Amino acid sequence: MGIEMKNITFGYRENHNVLDGFSCLFRDTCITGIIGPNGCGKTTSLKIMAGYLKPSQGEILYNGRPADLVSMTEMARIRAVVEQKVHSPFSFPVYDFVMLGRTPYLKPFESEHDSDHEIVFTSLSRTNTLHLKDNKIDALSGGELQRVMIARALAQESEYLMLDEPTSHLDVRQQLELMALLRSLKEKKTIIMVIHDINQAARYCDEVILTRDGKVVEQGQTESVLYPTALQEVFGVMAHTISQPVIGREQFVFSLPREMEQ
């Protein structure tokens, strides 16, 4: 099963749709990347899927169940979301911020259990942020905050993990560590991420959804979707494949069309 988006239409203002008939399937126990040019609706599709935005048309199904029938508390247990920026009115210590991931499992005014603390410690350790546990979240660097946000999402222990450009603030080593972490999680979680780096998508994603102008252009296994002609059509660049035996998947080199480079 998985999450299905069926004929989704959405616009932030009247007579201007960001998504127009957007349909795709995110299969269970896969890492799926959403790829496309800036402004094509990638982040919007993630927010609609997560229940943050309501489409004007279409529906979202979680394992065949309409998302409209899922309560907010249950939704918080089903999916965890890592956005590009953190929104918090308080200057939380990192540990308390990650503990917020356990909120869906606690009754009002109920104290955390030993098991909740164990999950938070594990989540901090897996994201290499345990040493930051006493720091305030508004004093973190961009890369540190990104990893702490992922730790909070892991603490939710959800079936679906949704990430919006998760490597955008990370250095090269941190990017590799994060992608390796996501690969290690995919047997227990379905991972969906908006990703700009096509070579990272080619290396780590099992499936890819290629989008343009608010529609899905192609979807399927990574090797069948990310090929030079499709990338040239969607991004307007020349794409060339290069063999990378070390990682076992082809990578891409990009250039502008010749008439633009002159």
Same domain, 128 and 254: no
Same domain, 87 and 134: yes
Rounded CA-CA distance 202/253 in Å is: 12
Same domain, 146 and 219: yes
Total-model pTM: 0.92
The domain in which residue 66 lies consists of 2-226
Rounded CA-CA distance 245/148 in Å is: 33
Same domain, 198 and 251: no
pLDDT at 87: 67
Q: Provide the number of structural domains found in the chain.
A: 2
Rounded CA-CA distance 193/174 in Å is: 17
Same domain, 261 and 188: no
| Structural element, H or E, at residue 232 | helix 228-235
Same domain, 222 and 238: no
| Structural element, H or E, at residue 222 | helix 222-225
> Within a 13 Å sphere around the CA of 217, how many CA atoms are in the beta-carbon half?
23
Report the CATH number at residue 31. Answer: 3.40.50.300
Same domain, 133 and 176: yes
Instruction: Report yes or no: 53 and 43 within 8 Å, Cβ to Cβ.
Output: no
pLDDT at 95: 97
Residue type at 175 in one-letter notation: Q
Same domain, 150 and 243: no
pLDDT > 70? residue 216: yes
Query: 187: which 2 tokens?
Result: 């047997």
**What is the pLDDT averaged over residues 105-127?**
93
Instruction: Report yes or no: 45 and 9 within 8 Å, Cβ to Cβ.
Output: no
> What residues contact 247, with CB distance under 8 A and at least 6 apart?
203
Rounded CA-CA distance 247/237 in Å is: 24
Per-residue pLDDT tens over the stretch 15-51: 789 999 999 999 998 999 999 999 899 999 999 999 9
pLDDT at 88: 66
Residue type at 242 in one-letter notation: I
Q: Where are the alpha helices (DSSP H) in 60-164?
A: 72-78, 94-99, 114-126, 142-155
